[in-house]
Amino acid sequence: MEALTLGALRAEPGTKVTGFLEVPGTAIQMPVTLAQGTVPGPLLSISAGVHGGEYPGIEAAIQTAASLDPQQVRGSVVIVHIVDVPAFHGRNIYICPLDGKNPNRVFPGNPKGTVSERLAHALFSEVIARAQFYVDLHGGDINEGLVPFTIIMDSGDREVDDRALTLARVYGIRYVIRGRVAGGSYAAAAQRGIPAILPEAGGQGLLDQQALQIHLRAHVTRLKTVRGDLRPRPRRPCPGHPGVHLERDGSRDRAGLAPWVRSAGGSTALVSSAPPPAPSSSPW
């Protein structure tokens, strides 16, 4: 086993190290933890705070990094605690306040672009592109109330997509949605051939303990079982809902729908039990 390095950081086998990943051309430093196991295996990369106001995901990354025992790691783990540091400090919804862009729309980024594009490029080139598996933690943004779900990308590569689906199953959130939005972290990873998921739990600017436990439970009890030989379980299409898949889980099916309901302007959205209209776009 060789040491795991990231910028100036270096974790020898059986150790972990915490420091910062600098974003060239900006003053931003992303807090990051590297853990290098003692047994060869895949590199699992985890990020949080691509949206700086999604606290359960950020806290889950911090606690997972703190509790990770490198002696128990098979392979390597990289955890970025917060990607959009300016948005975290500014309590901004979706956007980086330095350029007004949603970082989760500009992956894989641009090293000569705006701040969001540089953030995305640093994360993608240094953390995501090296990984065999990638998990991008989201927590429902400050203006969102949502049912927990996991998004995976339909990249068109069946093997990559099936491994992402299996990773989503391992993560354990009931609803799994297939996303097709370009520029997302998980989408850019999938298009690079890296199985990736975006689990989302939490919202409304709260450090919701139930949402936090969803992420932590997945990390502590499930992700440590991630292996390079992940194989998907059988699945079948959901009639009438092409973005949703059903999976047989014991004696029942599971299905996820993703209606995104928004109020117009500054008004209030009243949500009924009637099916809402399909959104024209989504913020993930």
Binding site for Zn ion (CB under 5 A): 51, 54, 138
CB neighbour list of residue 142: distance below 8 Å, 6 or more residues apart: 53, 91, 93, 203, 204, 205
CB of 95 to Zn ion, least distance (A): 11
Residue 200 CB, nearest approach to Zn ion (Å):
6
Complex with Zn ion: residue 93 or 238, whichever CB lies closer: 93
Cβ closer to Zn ion: 63 or 282?
A: 282
Closest distance of CB 198 from Zn ion, Å = 8
Minimum distance, C-beta of residue 11 to Zn ion, in the bound complex (Å)? 28
In the chain, what are the helix, strand and coil shares in percent, each to the nearest 5? 25, 25, 45
Total residue count of the chain as it appears in this document: 284
Kindly provide the residue ranges of all beta strands, DSSP E only, lying in the chain, ordered along the sequence: 4-6, 9-11, 15-22, 29-36, 39-48, 74-80, 133-137, 149-153, 175-179, 196-200, 235-237, 245-249, 252-254
The residue among 31 and 37 lying less far from Zn ion, judged by its C-beta, is: 31
Q: Which is nearer to Zn ion, 151 or 226 (CB)?
A: 151
Cβ(81)–Cβ(62) under 8 Å? Answer: yes
- Choose among 60, 185, 81: nearest CA to 134: 185
Beta carbon of residue 57, minimum distance to Zn ion (angstroms, whole number): 8
C-beta closer to Zn ion: residue 133 or 186: 186
Least distance to Zn ion, CB of residue 262, Å = 15
Helix (H) or strand (E) holding 55: helix 55-67
Output 243 or 283, the one with its CB closest to Zn ion: 283
The token pair that represents 135 in the structure block: 């998990």
Secondary structure E strands in 148-231 = 149-153, 175-179, 196-200
